[in-house]
Each structure stands twice: as C-alpha cells, then as structure tokens.
Amino acid sequence: MAELPEVDVVVAGGGPVGCALALALSGSAVSVARIADEAGFADRPIALSYGSRLILERLGVWSTVQSNPIQTIHVSQQGFGRTVMRSSDYGLPALGYVTAYSELVAQLAARTPQRWSP
C-alpha cells in the first residue's frame, strides 16, 4: 500500500462533493490530498440546484459541464393540490440542471490537487 503524503487536509471521497471540496481548498494556505478509488462511476443523471451551479462557477468548472436546465417544476398529488414553480418567477435562468454524474466527477477530479488511491 502506498504511503499517504503529509498534508494539512485529507478529503476522503471521489464524488462531486469530495472533489469540489478538494478543489475549493486547493487555492488556500492548506495543503490538500484527495483519497479516492479511481474506479469508474455509474453513468446516471444527477440534478443540481442553481446554488450548486454557483459553486461550480466559482470553482471554474461550470463552463465545461454539459447540462440541461430545469425551468419548471410541477408538484402535485391527485385530488389534494398542486404547485408550479418557474425559474422566471425568481429571476433565475433555471431552477436547477440535469447532467451526467460521471461527467461531473470527471471534470472536477481533473482539476483537484494530488490524488492518492488506496
């Protein structure tokens, strides 16, 4: 087993959250290593909130993520009620976005600081 490098912060996880945290910390005064199993991730869709888009923009990743906007959300229960939310009601370009999980991870992982695989 390879020896873990000496760093200030170790991020355990290779998914979007672990990669985003490692990337966010990489510009700080602390040294960072991300521990991740580099095995492939399932190619499934993931829905991201508008707030997640803002985080990814600040990290410089959003422009490389291919996504489809969620502009309307309709929630209802038969016979009880319903609500419809539209991005235009809130002055947003979209309420959220759908993208491929594996593509999001690949874009984030490519920009993260040193990786260590167990």
pLDDT score at 39 = 67
Intervals of the chain under pLDDT 70: 1-5, 38-40, 113-118
Q: Which helix (H) or strand (E) holds 98?
A: strand 96-100
Burial of 38 (0-12, 13-18, 19+ CB in 10 A): exposed
Q: Give the CATH number of domain 9-116; options: 3.90.226.10, 3.50.50.60, 3.40.50.410, 3.30.450.90.
A: 3.50.50.60
- Where do the structural domains in the chain lie, given as residue ranges? 9-116
pLDDT digits (tens, 9 = 90+) for 29-53: 888 888 877 666 778 999 999 999 9
Q: Among 64, 57, 54, 75, which Cα is nearest to 99's?
A: 64
